[in-house]
Copies of this chain bind each other. A is one copy, B any other.
Amino acid sequence: MTQEVFLKARPQGELRAADLGLREQALPPCGDGDVRLAIRYVSVDPFTRIFLDEAVLGAALPGTALGAVLPGAAVGEVVESRSPALRPGDLVEGRFGWREAHVTPAEGLRKLEPALGDGRAALGILGLPGTTAYGGIVTVLGIKPGETVIISSAAGGVGLIAGQIARCLGARAVGIAGGPAKCAMVLEHGFDACVDYKAANFEQALLAACPGGAQAYFDNVGGKVAMAAYAALGRGGRVALCGLLSLYQGEGGDEGDLGRFMRLIMSRGLSIKAFSTVGLNQPAALVDLARWMEEGRIAVPETVVDGLASAPDAFVDLLAGRIAGKLVIKVS
């Protein structure tokens, strides 16, 4: 038997912990070529929210079915192997979902180096947040030394890594985060400036932090914060659209002036590119990220929550902006 978190009710607007359920499920047998995993850590990421709607961001891609296990990356330890590729004790990373144990084909799993310790880094700097941040800063934006890049949700896993990568490349990183505590944390991680989007003078403070206009914007949030960041770009500014955190919680988010948004794009000659890690060059990213991590140039504070039963509340807190850095659930 294994414990797992599943989608109990389709969230209407803001996710409530009660929309998610916890249940025991029988584990399927470990067949030929399979491994049985004891899950150690489950990654909880803001973008998981978009998969809980009926259609992902209103597009044709269907979301998670009612009753299905919550999707997400996780690190598991092999406890039984019927494949020559993996041995008991090996750590692997994959999209195992929010569960305690899992049986899956060994083929295609990412085996973690023993040097990675308990493997949690494979869910952070050396996982989806790290390769996503790298893809945005390096592949999509092509950040060069001396450029200024604005990063929203800068206290989140992806944003915090993105700013530190920009710094490693010799660029200026200007973060946007909610509240003084998060802004202080962002500055502690080497950002050149961090602006509080909850402050009354937010738009002016952002403009002041980008004298002459920023060259690039790494967008994790969309909405009004994105509008302010677009307005702080100079001519020919580039935007990497990575996420829309401010728009995930339901059908709202229609605030803001579409005409003003389009005029900004036109009058400044901006380029915008939406991206996901799919199709980005992950092996190259992992080499650079591992080196920068070893050199102490990239770090991400973690919030580790104990047990799957606590995961729904932690996810709600994450979406409400009450958790900074990377959130992981310690499973067993």
Contact = CB atoms under 8 A, between A and B. Distances in A.
Nearest to A252: B259
B258 A254 contact: yes
A261 B263 contact: no
Interface of A: 56-59, 61, 222-223, 226-227, 241, 243-244, 247, 252-276
B222 A262 contact: yes
Contacts of A61: 267
How many copies of this kind of chain does the complex include?
A: 2
Contact of A243 (B57, B243, B266): B266
A328 B268 CA distance: 28
A276 to B, nearest CB: 7
Contacts of A256: 258-259
Most buried by B among A61, A254, A263, A275: A263
User: Max chain B CB contacts within 10 Å: which of A227, A241, A257, A259?
Assistant: A259
A247 B259 contact: yes
A47 to B, nearest CB: 10
Given A254-B257, A255-B258, A247 B271 contact: no
Contacts of A253: 258-259, 262-263
Contacts of A243: 266
The 3 closest A-B pairs by CB, nearest first: A253-B259, A57-B267, A59-B267
Contacts of A276: 269
Given A269-B275, A274-B268, A274-B270, A223 B58 contact: no
28 contacts: A58-B263, A58-B267, A59-B267, A59-B268, A61-B267, A222-B259, A222-B266, A223-B258, A241-B265, A243-B266, A244-B262, A244-B263, A244-B266, A247-B263, A254-B258, A254-B260, A257-B258, A258-B258, A261-B261, A265-B272, A265-B274, A269-B274, A269-B275, A270-B272, A270-B273, A270-B274, A271-B271, A272-B272
